[in-house]
């Protein structure tokens, strides 16, 4: 155990003291923050101001209906602006002119006005467009999907209200009929109803799964490169004179893993500090998000088990090859189960107690991610969680024994990449 600790200490200090570690650890949160918050800031900061739109309609009542819908939207935007941070959201208001004499001369004149910037756009609602259920909105910025959606919704609502009115439905009744119905989803667990779960609660298992996936992949490759580096530098031949292959591999896995956990801990602390104001602002949206205590307990458990499982496999790959190019080619069988986890994720989130969810949470190469996704979505019986953990522990021990035997012979082998019969011979030699 002392030799393992010495390797862990060497691997940890050697990486933590590097300038690259410090720069990457501090730069990554800033980079992620820029990628997440800057687009959100730009998206939240609407272009605002007043949009001048001309509605050309053969039916005057329909044109007036579109005007009312756009003006109602302007009022709703203003209310949202008042209830939100005034420095971040600028309300969009619409100035709408209605023209009831469509014709080619008018269309050409409006096109010229849009080009000159006199108006922002015009809606072409002729009788033919209404019959075909397809109208035109001409504007300079045709890629502004927010404004395009607002215009389309206004026209659709105005047309529906007009048709309902023709059948004797009053404006108030039509408004109530077209009002969107909201829904609260209640979770029933063990005979108890919990508070409504929000969309964030639905996405959380997927987000946490991706966090485990990326971290395991990143630091598993780091273990592989660490083993490969010492093998190519022939330093390992000196190390094996005073330490066993199993101790060396275990020390590398734990040492590089400690580096990864240190980085993650720093990122979590920095993320918590810098996102605190945002979390306060989002408190109303997070009020419905309830996480059971088991989620916080089992996340580090399955994270560590998943890391050790894949790091052991990566170390075994590194002991077989002679260059990083060969290692990149041979790591695909290791990455494939991780990719399958992302493929199965949505099905598991929707039906966490299905046969697919059960067996993939028991299969050791997919268990660290799938079982945790099941725990977040709908906690399975404790015996299933315990069985999954036991399978992982036994698999990790077996793989470490197997890979250490390959490691013992492979680190001293140079030349071509070994074939399967040669690997079997290595296992026989090391036995």
pTM for this entry: 0.64
Position 285 in a domain: yes
Same domain flag for 167 and 289: no
Regarding whether 417 and 302 lie in a shared domain, the answer is yes
Q: Is the pLDDT of residue 202 over 80?
A: no
Domain that holds residue 214: 198-430
Given 126, 145, 178, which residue is the final one in a domain?
178
Q: According to the model, what pLDDT value does residue 347 have?
A: 86
Cα–Cα distance, 152 to 146 (Å, whole number): 10
Query: Is residue 165 located within the same domain as residue 227?
Result: no
Per DSSP, the residues of 122-144 read EEEE-HHHHHHT--EEEES-TT-
Q: How large is the average pLDDT for residues 191-215? A: 62
What's the whole-number mean pLDDT along residues 45-71? 82
Q: Which two tokens stand for residue 78?
A: 């203003």
Contacts of 253 (CB under 8 A, 6+ apart): 223, 308, 311, 312, 315
Query: What is the number of domains present in the chain?
Result: 2
Residue 271 located in a structural domain: yes
Name the range with the highest mean pLDDT among 106-115, 263-272, 293-302, 412-421.
106-115
pLDDT at 394: 94
* H/E run at residue 56: strand 49-57
Evaluate whether 154 touches 70 at the Cβ level (below 8 Å). Answer: yes
Check residue 40 and give its pLDDT: 56
284 inside domain: yes
Highest mean pLDDT range out of 42-51, 201-210, 245-254, 299-308? 299-308
326 and 373 in a single domain? The answer is yes
CA proximity to 33, closest of 266, 270, 224, 215 = 270
Mean pLDDT of 322-331: 75
Average pLDDT score, the chain? 77
**Do residues 154 and 213 both lie within one domain?**
no
Query: Does 219 score more than 80 pLDDT?
Result: no
**Half-sphere exposure (Cβ direction) of 429: Cα atoms closer than 13 Å:** 14
For residues 211 and 341, membership in a common domain is answered with yes
244 is a domain residue: yes
Within-domain flag for 16: no
Q: Are residues 287 and 374 in the same domain?
A: yes
Which pLDDT band, with edges at 50, 70 and 90, does 391 fall under?
very high
Q: Is a pLDDT exceeding 80 seen at residue 154?
A: yes
126 and 94 both lie in a single domain: yes
Q: Is the dihedral of CA 47, 48, 52, 55 positive or negative?
A: positive
Per-residue pLDDT averaged across 131-159, rounded? 86
Look at residue 283 and tell me whether its pLDDT is greater than 50.
yes
Q: Is residue 332, in this structure, part of any structural domain at all?
A: yes
Buried b (16+ CB within 10 A) or exposed e, 274-287: eeeeeeeeeeeeee
172-176 mean pLDDT: 79
Return the CATH number at 54.
Answer: 3.40.190
**For the segment 68-99, what is each residue's pLDDT rounded down to a tens digit?**
888 876 555 444 444 444 444 456 788 889 98
Residues 61 and 203 in one domain: no
Residue 258 within any structural domain of the chain = yes
Residues 261 and 119 in one domain: no
Asked if 224 and 173 sit in the same domain, the reply is: no
pLDDT (mean) for 160-183 = 79
Residues 299 and 406 both lie in one domain: yes
**What does the pLDDT read at residue 88?**
45
Q: How far apart are CA 367 and CA 385, in angstroms?
A: 10
Contact 246, 401 (CB under 8 A): yes
User: Is 237 a member of any domain?
Assistant: yes
Tell me the pLDDT band of 385, cut-offs 50, 70 and 90. very high
What 8-state DSSP symbol labels residue 102?
A: -
């Amino acid at each position: 155990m002392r030799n393992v600790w010495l390797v862990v200490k060497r691997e940890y200090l050697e990486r933590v003291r590097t300038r690259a570690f410090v720069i990457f650890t501090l730069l990554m949160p800033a980079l992620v923050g820029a990628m997440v918050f800057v687009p959100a800031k730009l998206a939240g900061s609407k272009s605002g101001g007043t949009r001048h739109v001309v509605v050309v309609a053969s039916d005057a009542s329909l044109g007036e209906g579109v005007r009312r819908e756009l003006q109602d939207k302007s009022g709703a935007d203003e209310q949202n602006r008042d209830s939100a941070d005034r420095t971040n959201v600028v309300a969009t208001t619409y100035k709408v002119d209605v023209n009831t004499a469509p014709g080619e001369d008018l269309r050409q004149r409006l096109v010229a006005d849009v080009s000159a910037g006199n108006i922002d756009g015009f809606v072409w609602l002729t009788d033919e467009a209404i019959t075909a259920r397809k109208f035109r909105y001409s504007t300079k910025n045709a890629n502004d999907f927010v404004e395009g959606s607002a215009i389309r919704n206004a026209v659709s609502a105005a047309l529906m209200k007009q048709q309902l009115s023709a059948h004797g439905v009053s404006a108030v009744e039509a408004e109530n009929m077209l009002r969107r119905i909201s829904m609260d989803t209640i979770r029933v667990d063990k005979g108890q109803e919990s508070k409504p779960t929000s969309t964030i609660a639905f996405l959380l298992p997927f987000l946490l799964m991706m966090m485990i996936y990326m971290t395991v992949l990143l630091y598993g490759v780091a273990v592989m490169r660490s083993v490969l580096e010492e093998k190519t530098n022939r330093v390992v031949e000196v190390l094996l004179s005073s330490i066993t292959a199993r101790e060396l591999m275990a020390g590398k896995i734990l040492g590089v893993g400690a580096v990864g956990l240190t980085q993650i801990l720093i990122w979590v602390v920095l993320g918590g500090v810098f996102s605190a104001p945002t979390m306060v602002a989002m408190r109303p949206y997070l009020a419905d998000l309830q996480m059971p205590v088991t989620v916080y307990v089992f996340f580090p458990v399955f994270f560590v088990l998943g890391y050790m499982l894949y790091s052991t496999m990566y170390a075994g790959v590194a002991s077989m090859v002679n260059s990083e190019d060969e290692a990149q080619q041979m790591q695909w069988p290791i990455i494939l189960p991780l990719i399958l986890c992302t493929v199965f994720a949505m099905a598991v989130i929707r039906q966490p107690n299905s046969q697919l969810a059960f067996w993939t949470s028991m299969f050791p190469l997919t268990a660290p991610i799938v079982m945790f996704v099941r725990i977040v979505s709908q906690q399975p019986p404790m015996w299933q969680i315990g069985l999954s953990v036991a399978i992982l522990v036994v698999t990790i021990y077996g793989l470490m024994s197997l890979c250490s035997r390959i490691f013992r012979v492979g680190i001293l082998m140079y030349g071509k990449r070994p074939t399967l019969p040669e690997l079997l011979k290595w296992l026989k030699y090391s036995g």
